[in-house]
Amino acid sequence: MKRDDDGHPHKKDFDMLVGGSDTTSTTLEWVMAELIKNSCIMKIPQEEVRRVAANKLKIDVNDINQMNYLKCILKESLRLHPPTPLSLPQETSESLKFGGYDIPPKTRVFVNIWTIQRDPKLWDRPEEFIPERFKDNPVDFKGQNFKFIPFGGGRKGCPGLTFGVASLEYVLANLLCWFNWRLPTTNAQGEELDMTETNTLAAFRKNPLHLVPILHSS
């Protein structure tokens, strides 16, 4: 992290760190909610993570690079629940035509990421949680495939992307490796879990997710 002449972190670098942390916690909650709701899918990444980690006491980056299904789950959750449903505002530098409209220069533009990533013209069964859609699929979240831009696209992509994704993969791998998970009420059905989102700039869950961890014994 860069520092100023007094040794204090630059505000821009600090904002990147905070932004990445906030994205991590929000997205992780959605990932776990989707896995609880789709219990048959939950078993697949758990088996993968435990197989790769074997009897190791600590998961490292080399292990995570072998967890292909875990990466598919993360992408699919980010498709359904992008951290910011609307992109940060951008401004047109010159006049242009788009969708039959004349747009003047210096117009503030918001991209509806949530709608693009659930568009049935771009995605098969877009409302369903299907991690397999990203298996052997070159579509990535780095902002170059414009049907999948959970962190924004092009030069205006999120600067905290690398930090956020690495943190998500590491935390998720550990949660799935060392614990089994269930809802607090023993007879509650995951399929009935409320997935309502808040109507804010960030895609938080309307009702916070509460889960009970059960230590996994190999």
Please state, in angstroms and rounded to a whole number, the distance separating the CA atoms of residues 148 and 160: 17
Give pLDDT, residue 17. Answer: 43
92 vs 107, 112, 137, 175, 214, CA distance in Å? 5, 16, 32, 43, 52
What pLDDT does residue 1 have?
43
What DSSP character marks residue 132?
A: G
Which residue from 203, 211, 192, 169 is spatially nearest to 38, judged by alpha carbons? 192
Q: End-to-end distance of the chain based on CA atoms, in angstroms?
A: 40
Give the CATH number of domain 11-84+115-215; options: 2.60.40.10, 1.10.630.10, 3.50.50.60, 3.30.470.20.
1.10.630.10
72 is in an annotated binding site: no
With beta carbons less than 8 A apart as the criterion, state whether 148 and 117 touch: yes
CB 66 within 8 A of CB 52: yes
pLDDT attached to residue 16:
43
Nearest-CA neighbor of 46 among 75, 67, 21? 67
Taking a C-beta distance cutoff of 8 angstroms, is the pair 70, 64 a contact?
A: yes
Q: For residue 170, what are its two tokens?
A: 């590491």
pLDDT, residue 151, reads: 86
What is the structure's pLDDT at 79?
96
> CA 79, CA 82: separation in Å to the nearest integer?
6
| Predicted pLDDT of residue 204 | 86
Give every residue of the chain whose pLDDT is below 70, as ranges: 1-22, 143, 154-157, 159-160, 218
Ranges of each domain in the chain: 11-84+115-215
What pTM, to 2 d.p., does this model score?
0.85
Residue 101, classified by CB atoms within 10 Å of its CB into exposed (0-12), middle (13-18) or buried (19+), is: exposed
